[in-house]
Amino acid sequence: MAAQDYIGSKGESQFCVQIMNFCGRPLPYFQPHFLGEKARTFDYLVELVSSGDRALYFFVQVKATRKGFTKKDKRLKVEMSREDMRRAAACPAPTYLIGIDESGDTGYIVPMLDRMTKAISSIPTTYPLDCTNLPRLYDEVEQFWSSRDMSQQTSVFQEVRP
């Protein structure tokens, strides 16, 4: 296995630790579910804990790096291709890119919004994955799903009774 594979594995572990921070609460805000090594677009489906009778979630792509930060803007040097950005941004659910500074054990979150279709080489460090931003993330995802009626009304597989 190449060094980058180990850095990626460590970054995914660091992400799980950070996203599951209890922040002084009896339960964490989130429960991450790894989608597998071969998942095409996202690494994790992340479920909101204590969201009532609804299963609310968002998707995450984790990018870990040892490349450090840009000198001018102190942005974390992580890369994501144009194709991956387009595919992630087209997902009809909340999607986020988490950049992990492997040496500093710190993660930073940025949304992958519909209009974001270009490759990236760095992300801002404005929003660390910490106890200030975890409740904000929870509220954002909860608000996204509460403004939509996503209940399935019919199916070709439903039982038809005479």
Q: How far apart are the first and last CA of the chain?
A: 60
Cα 74 from Cα 71, distance rounded (Å)? 6
The C-alpha torsion from 122 through 124 and 130 to 135, rounded to 10°, is -120
Instruction: Just give the CATH number of 3-146.
Output: 3.40.1350.10
Percent over 70 (pLDDT), the chain: 100
pLDDT in tens, 127-145: 999 999 999 999 999 999 9
Stated pTM of the model: 0.90
Q: What is the CA radius of gyration of the chain?
A: 17
pLDDT in tens, 41-98: 999 999 999 877 888 999 999 999 999 999 999 999 999 999 999 999 999 999 999 9
